[in-house]
Structure 1
């Protein structure tokens, strides 16, 4: 089955943000080495969204197969570029956190995870995507400077 990768169901984004919130919260409360494994797994999920498509994420697959059939098609879709950029921001924080944890800088690693967690929680609970807003702001700034 083919999926349009240029648009996304905003409900799928919030579902993915909720799942990401759960994983990142577990990272904060789980001891090493399990937290590093969880964070590496979430980094892979972010990377799929960035380098393949948002539809390639396990969270997207779970939404498409378990949730969307029960709630129906969305009333509207959104441009996939801002959320893909947001996934890149999440990937960056996850990789910084993972590198810090693996290097023994637990506090720095958990702070990086905390930043990603706050952004995911905000998206999951309100639909406000910090990474998407950063994308839109940088696009407006680039047009202004051009």
Structure 2
């Protein structure tokens, strides 16, 4: 599991962790029988179960924020495909691969590939299918050559 998620959990739940630690220490110091170990184990197990739920929620939230940010960037990139097509520069490499660059976008791909790698203002947005908008940008860049 990611250490950032653990740190975030500790930051958000420091009071619960402190209370659990104090409870375990009190139980161990006050109760002198086997019952103390049973109570301490119950407290630790409850804390682990609680942290599992919280860590999952933190991780889901972080993933959701990331997905939302990527979706917004993809939306902006699609707008840029249309508006910056006239400024697109096409470069072909010796191996047949190509790069199309505009002031905000960079597309990298192969001539007959179904996908291209897209970066928007230096941020990689992954591989996109070569839909009509992407192909239109490639054609516009090739015609400017």
Structure holding more strand per residue:
2
Which is bigger in relative contact order (C-alpha 8 A, separation at least 6)? 1
Fold conserved between structures, TM > 0.5: no
| TM-score bracket for the superposition, by shorter chain length | under 0.3
- TM-score, normalised by the number of residues in structure 2: 0.27
Structure holding more helix per residue:
1
